[in-house]
Amino acid sequence: MKLCRFGEIGREKPAVITGAGVRRDVSGHARDFDDAFFAADGVEKLRQWFRANEQRCPVVPESARWGACIARPSKIVCIGLNYARHAAETGKDVPKEPVIFMKAPSSLCGPFDDLLIPKNSLKTDWEVELALVIGKRASYVAESEAMRHVAGYCLLNDYSERAFQLERAGQWVKGKSCDTFAPLGPFLATSDEIQDPHNLSLGLSVNGVVRQNSNTSDLIFGLPKLISYLSEFMTLLPGDVISTGTPEGVGLGMKPPQYLKPGDVVELFIEGLGKSKQKAVAYRAS
At 213-259, the pLDDT tens digits run 999 999 999 999 999 999 999 999 999 999 999 999 999 999 999 99
At 196-208, the pLDDT tens digits run 999 999 999 999 9
Q: Per-residue pLDDT averaged across 7-33, rounded?
A: 98
Element (H, E) at 243: strand 241-243
pLDDT score at 85: 84
Q: Within the chain, which residue ranges are assigned CATH 3.90.850.10?
A: 68-281
At 148-188, the pLDDT tens digits run 999 999 999 999 999 999 998 778 999 999 999 999 999 99
ω into 95 cis (within 30 of 0): no
CATH topology of domain 68-281: Fumarylacetoacetate hydrolase; domain 2 (3.90.850)
Dihedral-angle region of residue 256 (phi above 0 means left; psi in -120 to 50 means alpha; beta otherwise): beta
pLDDT score at 286: 64
CA distance 33 to 209: 34
DSSP assignments along 162-221, one per residue: HIIIIISSS-GGGGT-STT-EEB-S-EEEGGG-S-TTS-EEEEEETTEEEEEEEGGGBSS
CA distance 8 to 96: 43
Supply the pTM of this predicted model: 0.96
